[in-house]
Amino acid sequence: MKRLKKCALFLSIALIIFLPVSTFAYAKDTKTFQIKGSDTMVNLGQAWAEEFMYQHPDASIAVTGGGSGTGIAAILSGTCDLAQSSRSLHDEELKNAAEMGHPITETVVGLDAVAVIVHPSNPVTQLDVDQLSAIFTGKIKNWKELGGNDLPILVLSRERNSGTHVFFLEEIVRRGIKKATEEYSHEALMMPSNQSIVQEVKSSEGAIGYIGLGYVSPQVKVLDVAKSAAGPYVHPDLETAQSGEYPISRPLLFLTSGTLDPVMKDYMDFVLGPDGQEIVKILDFVPLKNK
């Protein structure tokens, strides 16, 4: 029987799991395997690693963030064993990796919904993609233009190294149009983490930002989102992200290069298995179907 407990999600993760410890053991001189990348996935990655090492005491896995861009650079340079990314690589990135002799394999290990958040006092409850694009490009500057209060809009975005920044840019700011060239407003504040966006939104009545579903807090208000003004407006949650009904859903990825070390192969199997996918669910991300 397994018990999982999540405590202080934005500060630390404590997983209390009672499972039979596997009899499989790695060599005593096994190195510490490095996993780098997505800040959205860092808590999830640390929880996976902690439980895997509990089951396999001789394994040693270190997980750090820094953004999807950091993870992609690290896997290409060979300075990590596995990268976590909240966005897919672009065709040009995959081509360059292959030309460098580091072909990249993407494995979907979970799903996420990017939640759009505002201050709890904001009367606006829903926005469509065109409205969001106009807000984040700076075309709409006051909440009264959207049926809200007469209050300037404070736009918050993740920093450019973030996979969430790139995903939101392509799918919302540019409305999924591949040849579009819109950019975030020059007045947008670039924030270093999901937590920093939550902190700013809960203290600023005019703020709007976006975060991974696993970082939603009762201290902020989550908006329903529609692909167009015709609707339907959909709330982000496990079911709507898994079905694809929520318009800002995305895969969470492991990036690997070359043949996996046995430790990393076993770790990936664990993450994709029932124990790993249960951790995805507990941390408020979206597990893969049939896992």
Cα–Cα dist 136/69, whole Å: 21
pLDDT score of 41 more than 80: yes
pLDDT digits 0-9 by tens, 58-76? 999 999 999 999 999 899 8
**pLDDT given for residue 259 in this prediction:** 86
pLDDT at 19: 36
Specify the higher pLDDT residue, 116 or 26.
116
Domains of the chain: 33-110+251-282 (3.40.190.10), 113-249 (3.40.190.10)
pLDDT band, very low/low/confident/very high, at 89 (cuts 50, 70, 90):
confident
Closest CA to 172 of 107, 223, 105: 223
Give the β-pairing of 154-158 and 189-191: parallel
Q: What are the tens digits of pLDDT across the range 91-128?
A: 888 888 888 888 899 999 999 999 999 999 999 999 99
* pLDDT category of residue 171 using cuts at 50, 70 and 90: very high
Confidence of residue 90 (pLDDT cuts 50, 70, 90): confident
Q: How many CA atoms lie within 13 A of 205 on its CB side?
A: 10
Cα gap 277→188, rounded to integer Å: 35
Least confident of 1-15, 160-174, 269-283: 1-15
Span 127-136, average pLDDT: 98
Q: pLDDT at position 126, please?
A: 98
Residue carrying the six token digits 């939550």:
198
Q: Write out the DSSP string of 63-86.
A: EEEE-HHHHHHHHHHTS-SEEEES
On average, the pLDDT of the chain sits at: 88
Q: Where residue 9 falls among pLDDT bands split at 50, 70, 90?
A: very low
Report the pLDDT value the prediction gives residue 96, as an integer from 0 to 100. 81
Average pLDDT over residues 2-14: 38
249: Cβ contacts below 8 Å, ≥ 6 apart: 111, 112, 113, 114, 236, 240, 241, 286
Q: What is the pLDDT of residue 258?
A: 86
- Note the pLDDT of residue 159: 93
Is the backbone peptide bond immediately before 192 cis, with ω within 30 degrees of 0?
A: no
